[in-house]
Chain A
Amino acid sequence: MLQVGHLYPELLNLYGDRGNIITFVQRCRWRNIPVSVRAINLGEPVNFKDYDFVLLGGGSDREQNLIAADLLKHRDEFAAAIEDGLVVLAICGGYQLLGKYYLTLDHENIPGLDILDFYTRAGDKRLVGNVAVEVNMGGKKFSIAGFENHSGQTYLGNIQPLGRILAGGGNNGVDGLEGARYKNVFCSYLHGPLLPKNARLTDQLITLALARRGIKPELMPLDDRFENSACQVMLDKLRVSKG
């Protein structure tokens, strides 16, 4: 049984983030991999040891501040679970939260969870639009697509990006990088949501979650015609080859 945790679904549900949960769960069920989802709400106790996959989505500024305060209380357990190989997908505001800090336009320094080595500062221009990214996963290069909408600009320290920008802004619109990767943590500015159109990425997350449970990660292939064509439409629109 894979246990999925959806962090603060009532607050962090911008841009169809729950589509990421729906996709992870369906792709397990279609393969007869037992899976269950638990919502983790504000103020509730959370034991990160119980989970195989956790989604941390994005929210509006007000909501982001509420959850930062709550998550800070579980910071050490969360960091320990990540060191232990917990599979995490953090999107947009959730991504920023895992870093060291967020610097506002008024030079106010809002501390993050300080689990991963990057920081974010408010930009004067919002990065909005469709994005294509080349990723390298399981020894294979392929392209993923999504939509970004953020004013924060993230700069990576000693940490790998999720991929290289083929079209769009990405982390900061300058260095050509998008997202971050550390152990089994995947951070990205792409919503859309991210997982449905990018089935190979989803399967990579499932594989990692199973492997951490000591289960031989040989995933049964699925009929991915719809996934591939939905992604291809966007890559074509951005004039990027699937790779």
Chain B
Amino acid sequence: MNLRMSAAIVAGRVASWLSKRQGHKGSSLPGMVALKIYSGTLRDLAAQVRKKIIVVSGTNGKTTTSNMIFGILRDAGYQNIANLEGANMVSGVTTSFVKRAGLSGKIDCDYAVLEVDEATMPIVLKELTPGVVVLTNFFRDQLDRYWELDKVIGVIRKSLKNNDRNTTLILNADDPLVAQFEKNAGLPVVFYGLSGSERSASTSTQTREAQYCPFCGSPLGYEFYHYGQLGRYRCSGCDFARPVARVEAGEPRIRDGVANCRLYFDQQEAELTMQVQGLYNLYNAMAAFAVGLHFGVDVPLMLESLRKYRPVLGRLERFSYQGRSAFLSLVKNPTGFNEGLADLRSMKGTKSLFFAINDNDADGRDISWLWDVDFEVLNKDHNDLAGFICSGSRGEEIALRLKYAGIPMDRIVVCKDMERGIRSVLDSRSDMVYLFSTYTALWPVHKILNSLVDKEGAYAAGGPFIS
């Protein structure tokens, strides 16, 4: 028995208890305290995972993908550890282990599903050996924290290269910035991707990250785009092209909160149905499915697990208020926000919108990315949009952005009192309400919403939250 480890775990538990008493969620404090007392806490605990550790990183979809993987492994009858609430720095990852450790420093689990922040990858990979690393996509996110995308990708590439171990990469074939890792890392790869559909466009008006080949610098040509830089690409100068995917989704149909598609894999096919909105959720599901396939989990069991999946906090959660629907969406970068607007536009009826935009450290102090979001698309369905209520520490900035997108000023209201703003958007006579919130505003918005509405489809008892 390692005495320092025991001391670290006790201290972590106490920290967790104290912070909960003060009303905090305590999702990274225990790990932080434990690591201070014994720096080998994460290494020692992670080494006890019986089967494999799954690390999920990338810009968007980390939390949802991790939750889907967790659900599949749980339904397959395994004991799992995870940081499902999105505390994805070293302290948050460590917390998930500390909470499940006995005082002697022993844990009992088959798999660990770890969402890891992109910039944190090198630190986490130094402490543990993942059996699988899932990379979802790379979009621009919180640039003042991470500088430029190139640097983030370089950091992950380097940490995977140093890692000549038995790790399999699960990669999004449709994102050239992710697919490049096959050549760069020299590890076994499973690709997943989406085939073309009527929704895919031949051009992209959205800000794209990858214009040029990561290997030879020539322009990438696209047969079609799904969103952002995701699509079927081919380099004009070398043989880099969208790889063949082992798991491929086709014929996506997304309507009124239900997403369907055909899944093609290993010369088989199956129908996938989920209670989610948004094309990006098909990507998340494919990533989770590919992980399960890699571990040999039963396919019908995976499909059933994904069918039961319900969105986690702020990932287009649906609430109901006096018979009408309200959707809450976490926004943190242009690509995610554009997808949120696409969801909103796909719904029939009149809508009222609420925005809570903060510029705290965890949101990114630089909110210039709001100007990279295509709010101009809202002009096309002007008459369906009754009102725009802007809140948060930078409510004035989103109001200004909407004005320059062409929304008439008289429909835009800045309301710094969040509760009053949410009440008034819910009381509008629209058929539905959309609320967009940055990270640090999400909990307050969620709390206010919960006090006002009757929520449907919450992740039911037996859900994945381990706290």
Contacts and interface: CB of A to CB of B under 8 A. Distances in A.
Contacts of A61: 148, 150
B397 A230 contact: yes
Interface residues of B, number: 34
A147 B368 contact: yes
Contact of B414 (A13, A128, A196, A229): A229
Contact of B149 (A11, A60, A227): A60
A217 interface: no
B148 A197 contact: no
Contacts of A129: 144, 365
B150 A62 contact: yes
B366 A147 contact: yes
Contact of B365 (A23, A130, A227): A130
Given A11-B211, A19-B404, A149-B366, A226 B396 contact: yes
Interface string B126-169: 00000000000000100110011110000000000000000000
Contact of B208 (A10, A15, A225, A232): A10
Interface in B352-406: 365-372, 393-394, 396-397, 399-401, 403-406
Contacts of A126: 147
Interface string A135-161: 000000000000101000000000000
Nearest to A65: B217
Contacts of B393: 233
B204 to A, nearest CB: 10
B143 A230 contact: no
Interface in B409-459: 409, 412, 414
Contacts of B406: 26
A134 to B, nearest CB: 21
B375 to A, nearest CB: 10
Report the contact-size class of chain A (Cβ under 8 Å from the partner): 35 or more
Interface string A102-139: 00000000000000000000000010111000000000
A149 B212 CA distance: 24
Contacts of A60: 148-150
Contact of B400 (A13, A15, A130, A230): A230
Contacts of B148: 14, 60-61
A192 interface: yes
Contacts of B370: 16
B368 A223 contact: no
A10 B371 contact: no
B59 interface: no
A15 B366 contact: yes
Given A10-B208, A13-B207, A226 B368 contact: no
A18 B372 contact: yes
Given A60-B149, A128-B144, A149-B143, A22 B404 contact: yes
Given A14-B143, A230-B396, A193 B365 contact: no
B409 A223 contact: yes
Contacts of A6: none
A196 B400 contact: yes
Nearest to A19: B371
A14 B368 CA distance: 9
Nearest to B148: A60
Nearest to A62: B150
Nearest to B376: A22
Interface in A200-236: 223, 225-227, 229-230, 232-233
Contact of B371 (A18, A26, A66): A18
Contacts of A230: 396-397, 399-400
Contacts of A66: 212, 217
A16 B409 contact: no
A21 B397 CA distance: 17
A61 B394 CA distance: 29
B368 A191 contact: yes
The 5 closest A-B pairs by CB, nearest first: A16-B371, A19-B371, A16-B368, A60-B148, A230-B396
Given A16-B372, A23-B404, A233-B394, 14 more contacts: A18-B207, A18-B371, A19-B404, A126-B147, A130-B365, A147-B365, A147-B368, A149-B144, A192-B366, A196-B371, A196-B400, A197-B400, A226-B396, A230-B400
28 contacts: A13-B207, A13-B372, A14-B148, A15-B143, A15-B366, A16-B368, A16-B371, A18-B207, A19-B371, A60-B150, A62-B150, A66-B217, A128-B366, A130-B365, A147-B144, A149-B144, A149-B366, A191-B366, A193-B368, A197-B400, A223-B409, A226-B396, A226-B400, A229-B396, A229-B414, A230-B397, A230-B400, A232-B396
Interface of A: 10-11, 13-19, 22-23, 26, 60-62, 66, 126, 128-130, 147, 149, 191-193, 196-197, 223, 225-227, 229-230, 232-233
